[in-house]
């Protein structure tokens, strides 16, 4: 048994309960909106009512004069840098001369009650001089630039393989993905408290404390150390809390008024105030032999980045590098353009660029199967990547890649029986009971997805953690943002397992310790988990040194495991060895370096990859356009499972978001305006829409570079579940359905057109 | 009693409460006036169930109930456990089966499952009935899989 496996014999690999679980079920857990301090003011944001306009005049005088108003601030009141951004500072803290999207912040107010805040915001007069907005992403590059940085956010080209290629069959299609929202349950909220030294302490639910700190300090024009960010309870995130929303406004208000200020978005403002998943238009051509072996893939992909850059560049990279899916592609010609428009800004959402292209490449694989007379599983099997193969980036697929096993196990899993009941919940349309059983068509669809783990393309991506040890108690300090994923559990499991102590405390996440990086890109178990493991390993070195000195033996002869140290002539419990001494170690974990792509999109761009497969079974009433998703079966490449219940929870939850994108979720944007910014109009799956998930197998092939071999598991469930459902609906109806979400209207419209 | 005052029993404790402004919801009264923040605010349109409470014995979205209508009424919130330091069967089931991730929807779901159990005590509860009972509670993290496990577990425990 190796050292790694030995450790897994302990707490790792078991379903340890969440340390915050009791507080959460009893309503005692403090989410960001539950924070209040005496004497605090309330904040609010004035947002642009138009998609694109010059600002002739902003008159805040009436608002300022209102009793109870403590401050009204706008662009002129930003003492530091006027622009911020996660990757590129291109977004104004407040619009100065021009607004570029509906919802862009123009001013902010602090007052003694929320009512006065609302009234004051209404008294701010903004004189817009409207401009013709750019709202069609396909026309953005030929339009006049709407920003000094231009309308191209990033172009990514992948050119691999020889110019010449042969083929027997070609299939093509144009696919599109609508704008999905993360729709986390807890709207944005923060509490900023002015500090004695002229700085500020911000309690906010975020995905990356240090990225917030950096952007806040720059815009406030104060030292980094004067901004202290504390993670407040986060009601979900899914990418939407990676960018700054209210952080800078709130800190400005607190410093301006000298008072604590709380700012909470309602649901509508939440839809306006954070980035969304990029809508995509994707033209594909797959060339293959008559037997279905791919010889070349060509794709042109346009991503609508909206008004500001956010993480569009990285999303575009993912869309390009994972454009073809987990298949051997001898020749690839991929062009991705992420463009700027006057639509709402888009950025990170679970799956990050790979979701969109997965829908396209898997749709293409099904077309190829049909053209070659093959089963959908068979055509995929004939093209699968294996460990050691080259990706379209030229990078070798190193590390475990059990894709064939994922597909084989999924393909042979038993199918659910045909629906024979006519109860209120067993037919498409549910309790409405408008469908007759004889009109119901059953469909089955498959999809495979892949994505990288951790940040890519040469980004310096690290995580710091500190672990201290007193007696039998370990205390972890990490800035890793807990957003519901269960890091708090896994962190304690790791420290407990490595150090062999039963009592582990995780301190609140703050910027007092080094950066943990972002809770995104399926990276924290690997990165912050690795940092905790590294700190614990260093503590063991210190423990052995201590024992060697105390018992006067060479350190090489000292062993440590399970909370006791032993060697020639001694065997001592950790608590007795330490007595009242405290040991401490801070560790920075870096994954192996990656490189930026060359002009052909080639290079070792990624650290590691994860794969998943999904099979969807649906019942459809094509005439009425009603869909019932009967079952989703999945297999996933997980490396090693550290907490089985949490792993399944991530998989079920990720699939539910894929269900949403497949059949119901889309922000409808007309002339730059979101038409459905509410839970009444933006529908996410309920317990009646979400099918049972059959986890056929979680394939454990430990990754040699990962702490304990564990791969991130958060994103793969969201990547290919959407494509599998779309395939199943096509299988049931025979319709082309090139866009997700596939709404009832879409099915009925295609059924009319094609029927 | 002034026009803006009500008498309301919250978690068994009768008290006078002031209506801060016309149109104030029960949700705002609970969270902002009485400091009971376990009831969550996520949509204010009665769509998500995060603010589910028992209002005069019926499950309700507190955001849709006018505080002014709560005079002489009785409200139970997530804070109404068996004892302060003890979890009820439903809370324990949610914690122990992994039905909690971010936890924002959890108080509302716990209230909905408590209501289901109290409505159907003793009788058989099918999976479809559980799904229907919690269909007014949106959860974005779990996909409802572990929530259903928790609900089934709580139903068995409460028999």
Residue with tokens 């096993």: A405
Segments making up each domain of chain A, as ranges: 3-29+462-590, 32-132+195-264, 398-453+606-755
Select from B38, B91, B102 the Cβ nearest to the Cβ of A235: B102
Report yes or no: B45 at the A interface, CB cutoff 8 Å: yes
B66, pLDDT greater than 60 = yes
Query: Which chain A residues touch B132 with a CB distance below 8 Å?
Result: 425, 431, 687-688
Which contiguous run of DSSP H or E holds residue A126?
strand A125-130
Selected from 3.90.1170.50, 3.40.50.720, 3.90.1570.10, 3.40.50.300, the CATH number assigned to the domain covering A32-132+195-264 reads: 3.90.1170.50
The reply to whether A33 touches chain B by the CB within 8 Å rule is yes
Asked whether the beta carbons of A107 and A124 are under 8 A apart, the reply is yes
The residue-averaged pLDDT of B43-68 equals 98
Q: What does the pLDDT average to over B102-112?
A: 98
**Which band of pLDDT confidence, cut at 50, 70 and 90, is reported for residue B4?**
low
Chain A residues near residue B108 by CB distance under 8 angstroms: none
Domains A3-29+462-590 and A398-453+606-755 share a fold: yes
pLDDT of residue A431: 74
Look at residue B121 and tell me whether its pLDDT is greater than 80.
no
A37 touching chain B per CB within 8 A: no
Residues of chain B contacting residue A21, judged by C-beta atoms under 8 Å apart: 94-95, 100, 103
Task: Report how far residue A724's alpha carbon sits from residue A705's, in angstroms, rounded to the nearest whole number.
Answer: 31
Residues 96-135 of B with CB under 8 A from A: 96-98, 100-107, 110, 128, 130-132, 134-135
Query: What is the fold of B89-158?
Result: DNA polymerase; domain 1 (1.10.150)
A633–chain B nearest CA distance, Å = 13
For chain B, the structural domain boundaries read 5-76, 89-158
Of A20, A236, A688, the CB nearest to B131: A688
Instruction: Write b or e for each residue in A427-452: b if 16 or more Cβ atoms lie within 10 A of its Cβ, otherwise e.
Output: bbbbeeeebeeebbbbbbbbbbbbbb
As its CATH architecture, domain B5-76 has: Roll (3.10)
pLDDT of residue A3: 40
A27 and B132 in contact by Cβ < 8 A?
no
**What does the pLDDT read at residue A8?**
41
The predicted structure's pLDDT at residue A101: 98
Per DSSP bridges, beta strands B5-10 and B73-76 are parallel
Distance CA A26, CA A24 (A): 5
Q: What is the mean pLDDT of each run of 10 residues along chain A (755 residues)?
A: 42 94 97 97 98 98 98 98 98 98 98 97 98 98 98 98 97 98 98 97 98 98 98 98 98 98 98 98 98 98 98 98 98 98 98 98 98 98 97 97 98 92 80 82 98 97 98 96 98 96 96 98 98 98 98 98 96 96 98 98 98 98 94 98 98 98 98 98 97 98 97 98 98 97 93 81
Please state which of the four CATH numbers 3.90.800.10, 3.10.150.10, 3.30.365.10, 3.40.470.10 is assigned to the domain occupying A3-29+462-590: 3.30.365.10
Confidence (pLDDT) at A1: 34
pLDDT in tens, A331-387: 999 999 999 999 999 999 999 999 999 999 999 999 999 999 999 999 999 999 999
Hey, of B37, B47, B103, which one would you mutate to test binding to chain A, going by the most A CBs within 10 A of its CB? Answer: B103
Distance between CA atoms of residues A161 and A333, nearest Å: 9
Asked if the model's pLDDT at residue B65 lies above 80, the reply is yes
Facing B43 at nearest CB: one of A31, A34, A267: A267
Which residue among A29, A184, A425 sits closest to B128, beta carbon to beta carbon?
A425
Terminal alpha carbon distance of chain A: 62
pLDDT at A9: 43
pLDDT given at position A5: 41
d(CA A258, CA A14): 48
Q: Where are the alpha helices (DSSP H) in A348-402?
A: 354-372, 376-381
Domain A398-453+606-755 falls under CATH 3.30.365.10: yes
Helix axes A716-733, A644-663, angle to 10 degrees: 40
Residues 49-68 of B with CB under 8 A from A: 50
For position A7, what pLDDT does the model report? Answer: 42
């Amino acid at each position: 048994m190796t050292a790694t496996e030995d450790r897994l014999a302990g707490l790792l690999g078991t379903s340890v309960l969440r340390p915050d679980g009791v507080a959460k079920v009893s309503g005692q857990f403090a989410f960001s909106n539950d924070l209040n301090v005496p004497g605090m003011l309330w904040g609010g944001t004035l947002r642009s009512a138009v998609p694109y306009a010059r600002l002739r005049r902003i008159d805040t005088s009436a608002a300022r004069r209102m009793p109870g108003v403590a401050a009204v601030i706008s662009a002129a009141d930003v003492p530091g840098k006027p622009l911020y951004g996660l990757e590129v500072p291109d977004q104004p803290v407040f619009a100065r001369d021009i607004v570029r999207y509906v919802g862009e912040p123009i001013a902010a107010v602090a007052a003694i009650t929320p009512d006065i805040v609302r009234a004051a915001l209404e008294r701010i007069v903004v004189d817009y001089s409207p401009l013709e907005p750019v709202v069609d992403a396909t026309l953005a590059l030929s339009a006049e630039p709407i920003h000094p940085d231009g309308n191209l956010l990033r172009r990514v080209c992948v050119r691999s393989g020889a110019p010449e290629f042969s083929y027997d069959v070609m299939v093509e299609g144009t696919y599109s993905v609508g704008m999905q929202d993360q729709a986390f349950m807890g709207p944005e909220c923060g509490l900023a408290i002015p500090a004695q030294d002229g700085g500020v302490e911000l309690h906010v639910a975020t995905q990356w404390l240090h990225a917030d700190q950096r952007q806040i300090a720059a815009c406030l024009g104060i030292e980094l150390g004067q901004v202290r960010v504390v993670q407040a309870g986060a009601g979900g995130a899914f990418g939407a809390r990676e960018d700054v929303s209210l952080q800078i406004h709130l800190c400005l208000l607190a410093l301006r008024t000298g008072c604590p200020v709380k700012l909470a978005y309602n649901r509508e403002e939440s839809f306006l105030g954070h980035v969304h998943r990029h809508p995509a238009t994707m033209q594909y051509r797959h060339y293959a032999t008559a037997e279905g072996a791919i010889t070349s893939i060509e794709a042109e992909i346009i991503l609508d980045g909206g008004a500001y850059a956010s993480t569009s560049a990285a999303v575009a990279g993912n869309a390009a590098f994972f454009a073809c899916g987990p298949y051997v592609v001898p020749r690839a010609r991929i062009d991705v353009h992420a463009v700027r428009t006057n639509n709402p800004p888009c950025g990170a959402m679970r799956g990050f660029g790979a979701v969109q292209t997965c829908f396209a490449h898997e749709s293409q694989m099904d077309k190829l199967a049909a053209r070659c007379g093959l089963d959908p599983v068979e055509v995929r099997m004939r093209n699968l990547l294996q460990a050691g193969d080259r990706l379209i980036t030229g990078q070798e697929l190193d590390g475990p890649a059990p894709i064939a096993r994922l597909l084989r196990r999924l393909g042979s899993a038993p199918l659910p029986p045909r629906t024979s009941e006519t109860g209120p919940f067993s037919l498409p349309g549910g309790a409405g009971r408008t469908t007759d059983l004889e009109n119901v068509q059953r469909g089955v669809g498959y999809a495979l997805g892949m994505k990288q783990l951790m940040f890519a393309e040469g980004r310096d991506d690290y995580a710091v953690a500190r672990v201290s040890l007193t007696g039998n108690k370990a205390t972890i300090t990490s800035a890793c943002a807990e957003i519901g994923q269960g890091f708090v559990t896994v962190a304690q499991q790791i420290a407990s397992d490595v150090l062999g102590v039963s009592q582990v405390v995780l301190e609140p996440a703050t910027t007092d310790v080094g950066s943990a990086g972002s809770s995104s890109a399926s990276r924290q178990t690997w990165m912050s988990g690795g940092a905790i493991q590294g700190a614990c390993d260093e503590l063991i070195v210190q423990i052995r040194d201590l024992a060697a000195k105390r018992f006067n033996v060479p350190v090489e002869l000292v062993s440590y495991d399970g909370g006791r140290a032993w060697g020639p002539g001694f065997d001592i419990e950790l608590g007795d060895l330490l007595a009242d001494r405290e040991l401490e170690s801070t560790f920075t974990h870096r994954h192996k370096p990656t490189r930026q792509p060359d002009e052909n999109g080639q290079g070792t761009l990624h650290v590691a990859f994860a794969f998943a497969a999904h099979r969807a079974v649906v019942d459809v009433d094509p005439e009425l356009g009603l869909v019932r998703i009967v079952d989703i079966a999945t297999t996933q490449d997980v490396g090693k499972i550290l907490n089985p219940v949490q792993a399944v929870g991530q998989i079920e939850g990720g699939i539910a978001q894929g269900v949403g994108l497949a059949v119901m979720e889309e922000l409808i944007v007309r002339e730059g305006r979101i038409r459905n910014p509410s839970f009444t109009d933006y529908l996410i799956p309920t317990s009646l829409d979400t099918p049972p998930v059959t986890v056929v197998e979680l394939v454990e092939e430990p990754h040699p570079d990962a702490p304990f071999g564990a791969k991130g598991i958060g994103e793969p469930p969201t990547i290919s579940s959407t494509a599998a459902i779309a395939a199943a609906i096509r299988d049931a109806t025979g319709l082309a359905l090139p866009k997700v979400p596939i709404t009832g209207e879409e099915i009925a419209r295609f059924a009319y057109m094609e029927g | 009693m002034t026009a803006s005052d009500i008498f309301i029993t919250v978690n068994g404790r009768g008290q006078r409460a002031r209506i801060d402004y016309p149109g104030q919801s029960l949700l705002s009264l609970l969270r902002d006036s009485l400091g009971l923040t376990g009831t969550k605010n996520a949509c204010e349109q009665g769509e998500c169930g995060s603010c589910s409470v028992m209002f005069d014995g019926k499950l309700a979205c507190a955001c849709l109930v006018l505080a002014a209508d709560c005079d002489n009424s009785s409200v139970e919130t997530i804070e109404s456990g068996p004892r302060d330091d003890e979890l009820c069967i439903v809370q324990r089931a949610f914690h122990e089966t992994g039905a909690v991730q971010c936890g924002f929807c959890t108080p509302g779901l716990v209230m909905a499952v408590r209501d289901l159990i109290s409505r159907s005590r003793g009788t058989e509860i099918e999976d479809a009935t559980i799904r229907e009972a919690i269909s007014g509670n949106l959860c974005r993290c779990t996909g409802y899989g572990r929530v259903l496990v928790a609900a089934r577990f709580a139903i068995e425990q409460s028999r």
